[in-house]
Amino acid sequence: MDLILNRMDYLQVGVTSQKTMKLIPASRHRATQKVVIGDHDGVVMCFGMKKGEAAAVFKTLPGPKIARLELGGVINTPQEKIFIAAASEIRGFTKRGKQFLSFETNLTESIKAMHISGSDLFLSASYIYNHYCDCKDQHYYLSGDKINDVICLPVERLSRITPVLACQDRVLRVLQGSDVMYAVEVPGPPTVLALHNGNGGDSGEDLLFGTSDGKLALIQITTSKPVRKWEIQNEKKRGGILCIDSFDIVGDGVKDLLVGRDDGMVEVYSFDNANEPVLRFDQMLSESVTSIQGGCVGKDSYDEIVVSTYSGWVTGLTTEPIHKESGPGEELKINQEMQNKISSLRNELEHLQYKVLQERENYQQSSQSSKAKSAVPSFGINDKFTLNKDDASYSLILEVQTAIDNVLIQSDVPIDLLDVDKNSAVVSFSSCDSESNDNFLLATYRCQADTTRLELKIRSIEGQYGTLQAYVTPRIQPKTCQVRQYHIKPLSLHQRTHFIDHDRKGEGVFKSDNISTISILKDVLSKEATKRKINLNISYEINEVSVKHTLKLIHPKLEYQLLLAKKVQLIDALKELQIHEGNTNFLIPEYHCILEEADHLQEEYKKQPAHLERLYGMITDLFIDKFKFKGTNVKTKVPLLLEILDSYDQNALISFFDAA
């Protein structure tokens, strides 16, 4: 059965953060639920849908930006109390909008993540985690890297308190009191945690998490060790995961997995007989999906997925069909509803336009006076700068609440801007003036109308480091632009793994299998030291075996790429044979295989066109760097090396490295 969901936009509030929208439980099954959402203006809004119109239940006054919104209540009763985290304060509201709690925490940073369970409150700021019980401080932990999310395994089922922190350094930290019980290394920086099935699954210990590079996994957190259940790779290169919910939208009695990503993708996974997730539905919205929950909002007895987006849209993907099979009169009514909505919006717009015109005039007038000041309107930019492991490039994602007019990209190191399919902006490269060496790249992206999200792909050169700046100008009056800086690091194409150098006082030891890495590190350290006039002694030990080891590490990749290239070359010829001969029985099995996998192979080859060149580049660098440490320049021998690479044989290569 295909899952067909229709999009219904309900309402727009201000810009929202991750996990700031919830549905308040209804009194009975499949009755319409109220939506509660908090935005960056600090407004908490609770509304329900009545005849296609959003009717507010309550709305609070503006305040500090709301970072999280959760529901809570006494355990084993409906969780319908609303808690918000704004700056360093936690506030609680009843479902009618009456404030019953205002708790000023002692955290110095503003709260980033929150989890609530009965009277237990788990909070985390950027690096600090705190556990409160009845607003009394219980436990505390300082994390080594940024905390993205916090959750606690269900207390009512496990009768122990096991908080889990999702940290940017690709680790889930499982706590007990104020100490780390154990740390779990995960495949990408985790951005969101959720209990499996909403209650921790069969064991009550099952935890779902999503990563900023788009991976999704289930893990069981037992008291002694983690048990990995399944993991979904991000093969389609979709965005990072921002929110997860469990809800039976398919209607087969098993809760499905609802996932929202930062590229606007909404996905539904259902579970097969082996309890493995299978993608059942996906739909693209145009901006980051910040919260997701299954429930019933638009019309009773029709299940739907409710999502909120970065710019504050609350949208339902409903099972309610758009075209209703009904009497002739009723269709008219639906149309009428729409028309009413449109005309009321039009009226509102007219009124606003008039007001804006007046204000514009005032603004113009104020610019005549010499004392007046003119402030730029601030706007939020939701940005993400991440390394893609697969194609060794960086992606820069910029998202603004209103349409972007243009983006200026400036870099003081040589980088390449790669083409991104999703990006429809017209790019134009400007010549860089010769007088200053600060500009290696100047490019403008002129966006098409209604672009609120822009994705760029950047390829840097390992060892060349500097700053990339993005000047973002949205289409709002008065026109302003904001600059964002991103650092391109010397070892820009290294992903963090979990053995790192150990620092002693005034001394650092770096170890790497790849001599090129060490060479870059050495260059960078001495450059920085000279800049700060620090006396630095660098000594290094080169293990000859390490070169061989690195070559061996590269070997399988290189061999695979070469084989792939060879196979792809053969495809056309084989296809022609197939057509001419009518059958392919005379071909050896290997060629049969190629023919069968032709489409797949071609696709794979198309996806990574420059991969082989990059591997060649790596080997060449390694070759040069190896001899740089010995003090000899071998650049003249590079053509010879390339020749050997062209007719690749591992042993020949190694002996060339040894011999030279």
Partner 1 sequence: MTETEIVTSLCPMYGSRFGYALSNGTVGVYDKTSRYWRIKSKNHAMSIHAFDLNSDGVNELITGWSNGKVDARSDRTGEVIFKDNFSSAIAGVVEGDYRMDGHIQLICCSVDGEIRGYLPGTAEMRGNLMDTSAEQDLIRELSQKKQNLLLELRNYEENAKAELASPLNEADGHRGIIPANTRLHTTLSVSLGNETQTAHTELRISTSNDTIIRAVLIFAEGIFTGESHVVHPSIHNLSSSICIPIVPPKDVPVDLHLKAFVGYRSSTQFHVFESTRQLPRFSMYALTSLDPASEPISYVNFTIAERAQRVVVWLGQNFLLPEDTHIQNAPFQVCFTSLRNGGHLHIKIKLSGEITINTDDIDLAGDIIQSMASFFAIEDLQVEADFPVYFEELRKVLVKVDEYHSVHQKLSADMADHSNLIRSLLVGAEDARLMRDMKTMKSRYMELYDLNRDLLNGYKIRCNNHTELLGNLKAVNQAIQRAGRLRVGKPKNQVITACRDAIRSNNINTLFKIMRVGTASS
Q: Does 425 bind partner 1 (CB under 8 A)?
A: yes
Rounded CA-CA distance 76/221 in Å is: 23
Helical axes 638-646 vs 650-659, angle rounded to 10°: 170
Q: Coil, strand, or helix at residue 251?
A: coil
Identify any residues that bridge with 176 across adjacent strands, giving them in sequence order: 179
- AA identity, residue 354: Y
SS3 sequence, 256-296? EEEEEECCCEEEEEEECCCCCEEEEEEEECCCCEEEEEEEC
Question: How far is Cα of residue 607 from the mean position of the Cα atoms in its chain?
Answer: 21
Q: Does 652 bind partner 1 (CB under 8 A)?
A: no
Q: Does 600 bind partner 1 (CB under 8 A)?
A: no
Of 160, 446, 487, 552, the one binding partner 1 (CB under 8 A) is 446
User: 55 — phi, psi (to 5°)?
Assistant: -115, 120
Of 278, 284, 345, 565, the one binding partner 1 (CB under 8 A) is 345
546 C-beta neighbours (distance < 10 Å), count:
18
Q: Which residues contact 3 (CB under 8 A, 6 or more apart)?
A: 249, 250, 268, 280, 281
Q: Does 338 bind partner 1 (CB under 8 A)?
A: yes
Minimal distance in Å, beta carbon 375 to partner 1? Answer: 4
Cβ–Cβ under 8 Å, residues 540 and 522 = yes
Cβ–Cβ under 8 Å, residues 509 and 525 = no
Of 471, 629, 648, 656, the one binding partner 1 (CB under 8 A) is 471
Residue number, 118 or 298, with CB nearest to partner 1: 298
Q: Does 362 bind partner 1 (CB under 8 A)?
A: yes
Q: Does 332 bind partner 1 (CB under 8 A)?
A: no
Q: Does 382 bind partner 1 (CB under 8 A)?
A: no
* Site pattern 7..46 for partner 1 (x: CB under 8 A): xxx--x----------------------------------
Residue number, 273 or 436, with CB nearest to partner 1: 436
Q: Does 579 bind partner 1 (CB under 8 A)?
A: no
Q: Does 444 bind partner 1 (CB under 8 A)?
A: yes
- Which one, of 19, 15, 10, 110, lies nearest residue 53 by Cα? 10
Q: Does 414 bind partner 1 (CB under 8 A)?
A: no
Of 104, 185, 438, 596, the one binding partner 1 (CB under 8 A) is 438
Residue number, 12 or 110, with CB nearest to partner 1: 12
Q: Does 341 bind partner 1 (CB under 8 A)?
A: yes
Of 126, 176, 283, 482, the one binding partner 1 (CB under 8 A) is 482
Residue number, 382 or 546, with CB nearest to partner 1: 382
Residue number, 431 or 497, with CB nearest to partner 1: 431
* Among 89-97, 193-201, 346-354, 543-551, the segment contacting partner 1 (CB under 8 A): 346-354
Rounded CA-CA distance 87/360 in Å is: 33
- Which one, of 368, 448, 366, lies nearest residue 403 by Cα? 448
Q: Does 480 bind partner 1 (CB under 8 A)?
A: yes
Question: How far is Cα of residue 629 from the mean position of the Cα atoms in its chain?
Answer: 40
Q: Does 251 bind partner 1 (CB under 8 A)?
A: no
Minimal distance in Å, beta carbon 383 to partner 1? Answer: 13
* Among 188-196, 197-205, 216-224, 353-361, the segment contacting partner 1 (CB under 8 A): 353-361
Cβ–Cβ under 8 Å, residues 28 and 34 = no
* Among 72-80, 324-332, 467-475, 539-547, the segment contacting partner 1 (CB under 8 A): 467-475
Q: How far is CA 530 from CA 33, 101, 518, 522, in A?
A: 64, 55, 18, 12
Minimal distance in Å, beta carbon 370 to partner 1? Answer: 5
Minimal distance in Å, beta carbon 262 to partner 1? Answer: 20
Residue count, binding to partner 1 (CB under 8 A): 75
- Which one, of 118, 61, 112, 58, lies nearest residue 90 by Cα? 112
- Which one, of 301, 342, 341, 339, lies nearest residue 321 by Cα? 301
Q: Does 227 bind partner 1 (CB under 8 A)?
A: no
Q: Coil, strand, or helix at residue 223?
A: coil
Residue number, 176 or 423, with CB nearest to partner 1: 423
Q: Token pair 């134009």 is at which residue?
A: 428
What residues numbered 252-311 form the site for partner 1, per CB under 8 A? 311
Residue number, 7 or 628, with CB nearest to partner 1: 7
* Among 199-207, 427-435, 495-503, 546-554, the segment contacting partner 1 (CB under 8 A): 427-435
Q: Does 156 bind partner 1 (CB under 8 A)?
A: no
Residue number, 433 or 559, with CB nearest to partner 1: 433
Of 233, 366, 526, 632, the one binding partner 1 (CB under 8 A) is 366
* Among 189-197, 349-357, 556-564, 588-596, the segment contacting partner 1 (CB under 8 A): 349-357
Q: Which residues contact 21 (CB under 8 A, 6 or more apart)?
A: 35, 36, 37, 38, 69, 290, 291, 293, 306, 307, 308, 314
Minimal distance in Å, beta carbon 628 to partner 1? Answer: 31
* Among 89-97, 193-201, 228-236, 355-363, the segment contacting partner 1 (CB under 8 A): 355-363
- AA identity, residue 81: K
Q: Does 418 bind partner 1 (CB under 8 A)?
A: no
Q: Copy the structure tokens of residue 45.
A: 């809004």
* Among 130-138, 152-160, 288-296, 439-447, the segment contacting partner 1 (CB under 8 A): 439-447
* Among 69-77, 145-153, 476-484, 511-519, the segment contacting partner 1 (CB under 8 A): 476-484
Burial 140-171 (b: 16+ CB within 10 A, else e): ebebebebbbbbbbbeeebeebbbbbbbbbbb
Q: Does 331 bind partner 1 (CB under 8 A)?
A: no
Rounded CA-CA distance 438/460 in Å is: 16
Of 88, 439, 512, 608, the one binding partner 1 (CB under 8 A) is 439
Of 377, 508, 556, 617, the one binding partner 1 (CB under 8 A) is 377
Ramachandran assignment for 261, one of left (phi > 0), alpha (psi -120 to 50 degrees), beta (any other): beta
Q: Does 475 bind partner 1 (CB under 8 A)?
A: yes
Q: Does 59 bind partner 1 (CB under 8 A)?
A: no
Q: Does 528 bind partner 1 (CB under 8 A)?
A: no
* Among 148-156, 418-426, 562-570, 621-629, the segment contacting partner 1 (CB under 8 A): 418-426
Cβ–Cβ under 8 Å, residues 165 and 141 = yes
Residue number, 156 or 438, with CB nearest to partner 1: 438
Q: Which residues contact 578 (CB under 8 A, 6 or more apart)?
A: 584, 595
